[in-house]
């Protein structure tokens, strides 16, 4: 069997490895962390920095195709590998996704509306910022995730302070939009331009981090769901994208659909597909890399996913504990995924729990019971 390589050894890489191995492939993971979640379960774990020449040479030698799971793997590494191996996604598409300014330009070129925004790279741009962008959110153009590298600002003074706090890195200031709720679309596109997508997910964030995903999306009428899938498809086609792509959207209080950002890989909001669809987002990633057929995933069970952050590993007095897994596994339709991370930290993604059932109402009811048993807030 041939070996499939993944850049990055986090939980997304781990679930990719599971899917690849199930289809009979060997896997190679490149991640500097000796105890990375994907490295622990992969046949081969190359433990070097992403740009290390010897590490890249090892991946080249071993792999038949390459993918990435970590948004911030330097596009240069993918570029080097992609010159010799099929790479899905390609370095160029990843480079666009890694830079919020380029990403927004791409959305505009595809005719998909995004939040009004301005690039802030110089003190002049800061001083000249349009007052209509306040109140807003200042986001570093690169390397942000889970709400890190972002500051909410209401006034020019707060904006200036926030930019200092973000070390005057290149930033995008976005207008704070009146959100009704958030959704995402995960799609897969192959080298022949064939495209399939998962059903639309509805996502609840807490403190900038995904907390709950519900499918079918409770507040999304069919027309909106079709519009989101269509917009995501245009965004992928415009990039000549090959691989799995997630596009996050805001739905505003007046019903308008606005694109937020994209991730060039499987996404936290698609984890439910492992247990609730007949093809998961990770299997789609394997199929895209290897030229295996793409089929549209069918949701066979309504599902709710709860993210399990490191906070659950601490009691009220800050002492470490193990969450009561037996209590949630006693619920019918509970699918527990733990990522094998060596230490818990607040805000760190340690695992997720998907609850499936016959009906959306039943999935939600079970998820609420699971949340209560774990000490998570209701939704
Ligand atoms: P991810 O982990 O999804 O990559 P991120 O750090 O890149 O997150 P964003 O998706 O840009 O962050 O923003 C995080 C959350 O903050 C959004 O899901 C949304 O809830 C809120 N948010 C971001 N931008 C806006 C905006 N312009 N108006 C209102 N809310 C926003
Ligand atoms: Mg992001
Ligand atoms: Mg986001």
**In a shared domain, residues 360 and 326:** yes
**Residue 64: exposed, middle, or buried by beta-carbon count in 10 A (0-12, 13-18, 19+)?**
middle
**In a shared domain, residues 346 and 369:** yes
* ipTM of the complex as predicted: 0.98
Q: Is the pLDDT of residue 234 over 80?
A: yes
Continuous segment of H or E residues that includes residue 85? none
pLDDT at 56: 96
Q: Is the pLDDT of residue 298 over 80?
A: yes
**In a shared domain, residues 207 and 303:** yes
Ligand 3 midpoint to CA 247 (Å): 9
- State the CATH number of the domain containing residue 154: 3.30.1490.20
Can you give the residue range of the structural domain that contains 315?
179-374
- 150 is known to lie in a ligand binding site: yes
**In a shared domain, residues 164 and 183:** no
* Rounded Cα distance, 177 and 180, in Å: 9
pLDDT at 111: 97
Both structure tokens of 218: 């409770």
The whole-number average pLDDT for the span 86-92 is: 93
Confidence of residue 3 (pLDDT cuts 50, 70, 90): very high
- State the CATH number of the domain containing residue 48: 3.40.50.20
Both structure tokens of 368: 């609420």
Ligand 3 midpoint to CA 146 (Å): 7
Nearest atom in ligand 1 to the alpha carbon of residue 175 is 27
Q: Is the pLDDT of residue 326 over 90?
A: yes
- Residues in contact with ligand 1 by the CB-under-6-Å rule are 115, 137, 139, 144-148, 174, 176-177, 179, 182, 205, 208, 248, 260-261
**In a shared domain, residues 312 and 183:** yes
Q: Up-side HSE of residue 327: CA atoms within 13 Å toward CB?
A: 11
Write out pLDDT tens, residues 108-154: 999 999 999 999 999 999 999 999 999 999 999 998 888 889 999 99
Both structure tokens of 289: 């890399």
Residues 29 and 70: beta-carbon distance below 8 Å = no
Q: Is the pLDDT of residue 54 over 80?
A: yes
Nearest CA to ligand 1 atom 4: 145
Task: Enumerate the β-bridge partners of residue 28.
Answer: 5, 44
The whole-number average pLDDT for the span 88-109 is: 95
Neighbours of 80 (CB within 10 A): 19
**In a shared domain, residues 35 and 82:** yes
Continuous segment of H or E residues that includes residue 256? none
Q: Is the pLDDT of residue 72 over 90?
A: no
Residue 203 lies in a domain: yes
Nearest CA to ligand 1 atom 31: 176
Both structure tokens of 176: 């704070």
The whole-number average pLDDT for the span 193-213 is: 97
**In a shared domain, residues 153 and 289:** no
Q: Is the pLDDT of residue 322 over 80?
A: yes
**In a shared domain, residues 322 and 344:** yes
52: Cβ–Cβ under 8 A, 6 or more apart, which residues?
A: none
* Rounded Cα distance, 21 and 36, in Å: 17
**In a shared domain, residues 167 and 187:** no
Residue 347 lies in a domain: yes
Nearest atom in ligand 1 to the alpha carbon of residue 176 is 28
Residue 76 lies in a domain: yes
Q: Is the pLDDT of residue 1 over 90?
A: no
pLDDT at 76: 87
Nearest atom in ligand 1 to the alpha carbon of residue 177 is 28
Q: Is the pLDDT of residue 168 over 90?
A: yes
pLDDT at 136: 97
pLDDT at 147: 80
pLDDT at 74: 83
- State the CATH number of the domain containing residue 222: 3.30.470.20
Query: Kind of pairing, strands 179-189 and 201-206?
Result: antiparallel
- 50 is known to lie in a ligand binding site: no
pLDDT at 83: 95
Ligand 2 midpoint to CA 213 (Å): 16
| Structural domain count, the chain | 3
* Rounded Cα distance, 344 and 367, in Å: 23
Task: Enumerate the β-bridge partners of residue 195.
Answer: 189
Report which bound ligand comes closest to the CA of 251: 1
Sign of the CA dihedral with 370 first, then 373, 375, and 379 last: positive
Nearest CA to ligand 1 atom 12: 147
**In a shared domain, residues 205 and 296:** yes
* Rounded Cα distance, 138 and 152, in Å: 6
Both structure tokens of 211: 């907390």
Cα Dmax for the chain: 60
- 352 is known to lie in a ligand binding site: no
Sign of the CA dihedral with 56 first, then 59, 65, and 67 last: negative
Residues 201 and 272: beta-carbon distance below 8 Å = yes
Confidence of residue 325 (pLDDT cuts 50, 70, 90): very high
Nearest CA to ligand 1 atom 17: 208
CA neighbor of 168 nearest in space, from 115, 105, 126: 126
* Rounded Cα distance, 299 and 6, in Å: 27
Write out pLDDT tens, residues 258-271: 999 999 999 999 99
* Rounded Cα distance, 352 and 35, in Å: 19
Q: Alpha helices of 312-359 — where are they, by DSSP H?
A: 325-329
**In a shared domain, residues 309 and 370:** yes
């Amino acid at each position: 069997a041939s070996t499939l390589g993944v850049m990055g050894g986090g939980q997304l890489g781990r679930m990719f490895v599971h899917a690849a191995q199930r289809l009979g492939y060997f896997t190679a993971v490149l991640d500097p962390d000796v105890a990375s979640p994907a490295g622990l379960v992969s046949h081969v774990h190359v433990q070097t920095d992403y740009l290390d020449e010897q590490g890249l040479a090892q991946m080249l030698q071993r792999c038949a195709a390459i993918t990435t799971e970590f948004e911030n793997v330097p596009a240069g590494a993918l570029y080097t590998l992609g010159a010799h191996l099929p790479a899905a996604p390609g370095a160029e598409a990843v480079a666009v996704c890694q830079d919020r300014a380029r990403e927004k330009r791409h959305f505009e070129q595809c005719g998909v509306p995004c939040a009004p925004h301005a690039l802030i790279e110089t003190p002049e741009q800061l001083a000249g910022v349009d007052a209509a962008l306040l109140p807003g959110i200042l986001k570093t153009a690169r390397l942000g995730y889970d709400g890190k590298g972002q500051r909410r600002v209401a006034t020019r003074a707060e904006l200036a302070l926030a930019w200092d706090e973000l070390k005057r890195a290149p930033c995008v200031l976005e207008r704070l939009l009146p959100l009704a709720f958030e959704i995402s679309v995960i799609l897969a596109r192959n080298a022949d331009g064939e495209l399939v997508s998962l059903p639309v997910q509805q996502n609840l964030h807490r403190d900038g981090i995904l907390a709950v995903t519900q499918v079918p999306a409770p507040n999304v009428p069919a027309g909106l769901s079709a519009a989101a899938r269509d917009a995501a498809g245009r965004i992928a086609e415009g990039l000549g994208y090959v691989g799995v792509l997630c596009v996050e959207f805001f739905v505003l209080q007046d019903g308008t659909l606005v694109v937020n950002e994209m991730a060039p890989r499987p996404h936290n909001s698609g984890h439910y597909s492992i247990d609730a669809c007949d093809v998961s987002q990770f299997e789609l990633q394997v199929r895209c890399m290897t030229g295996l057929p793409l089929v549209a995933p069918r949701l066979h069970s309504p599902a709710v996913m709860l993210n399990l952050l490191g906070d659950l590993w601490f009691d009220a007095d800050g002492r470490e504990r193990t969450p009561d897994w037996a209590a949630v596994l006693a619920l019918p339709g509970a699918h527990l995924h733990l990522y094998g991370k060596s230490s818990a930290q607040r805000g760190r993604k340690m695992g997720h729990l998907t609850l499936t059932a016959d009906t959306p109402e039943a999935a939600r009811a079970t998820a609420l019971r699971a949340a209560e048993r774990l000490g998570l807030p209701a939704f």
